[in-house]
Structures are given as C-alpha cells and as structure tokens.
Structure 1
C-alpha cells in the first residue's frame, strides 16, 4: 500500500465517521431543542433535512459541519474510485 492509498483510506474513515456523528448529533439536537420533535426524528431518517432544519433553528455551526463532513467523505470516495 502506498502513502496515497493510506491517506485515502484515512480520509474515508474520518469523513464517514465525522459525517455520521455530526448527523446524529444535529438530529438529536433538533429532537431535544428544536420547535418540533417530529422534524428531528424525520431528519434522523432523511439526512438532507438535518442541516436545512438545523440551520433554520439556529444551529448554523452544526449545519456547516455536517456539510463539510459530507464533502470530505464524498471527495474521498471519488478519489478512491479513480485511484
């Protein structure tokens, strides 16, 4: 395994783990502190709703972190596909 392969695997693992963690955290925050618990539960099942509703509820940093984690994971997937 070359250094590039190791870097891609690390990016895949870190990207996916941070995405899942951020998603669950944001949905949980919507459930606990949002105006509607139903939205939080729905955001847990339908991932694109979590950052949208989180941003609207004032969880802007969490929504931005969700997007950054997703972009990191997708970028690593594309690099792994073409490597």
Structure 2
C-alpha cells in the first residue's frame, strides 16, 4: 500500500466520521432546541432535512458545516474511485 493509498483511506475515514458526527449533532440540536422535536427526529433519519431545517431554525453554522463535511466525504470518494 503506497503513501497515496493511505492518505485516501485516512481522508475517507475522517470525512465520513466528520459527516456522521455533524449530522447527529445537528439533528440533536433540532430535537433539543428546535421548535418541533418531530422535525429533529425526522432529520436524524432523512439526512438532507437536517441542514435545511437547521438553517431555518437559526443553526446556520451547523448547516454549513454539515454541507462542508458532506462535500469533503464525497470528494474523498471521488479520489478513491479515481485512484
């Protein structure tokens, strides 16, 4: 396994872990601090709803972070596929 392969694997792991952590955190904020707990629970199961409802509830930094971690993970998947 070359150094490039190791870097791609590390990027995949870190990207996915960051995305999942951010998603659970944002859904948790919606459950605990949002106007509707049902939306938070639904956002936990249907991932694209978390940043949409989070942004509308005023959790703008969390919603942007959710999108950024998803982009990082998708970029890592593309690099892994091309490598």
Interval containing the TM-score (normalised by the shorter chain): over 0.9
For residues 28 and 39 of structure 1, the distance between their equivalents in structure 2, rounded to whole angstroms, comes to 10
Question: 1:10-63 deviations in whole A, cap 9, x for unaligned?
Answer: 110000000000000000000000000010000000000000000010101111
Taking structure 1 as the reference length, what is the TM-score of the superposition?
0.97
For residues 69 and 17 of structure 1, the distance between their equivalents in structure 2, rounded to whole angstroms, comes to 9
Structure 1 unaligned blocks of 5 or more: none
Count the aligned residue pairs: 83
How far did 1:74 drift?
0.5
The aligned counterpart of 2:23 is: 23
Structure 2 unaligned blocks of 5 or more: none
For residues 47 and 39 of structure 1, the distance between their equivalents in structure 2, rounded to whole angstroms, comes to 11
Q: Which runs of 4+ in 1 moved over 4 A?
A: none
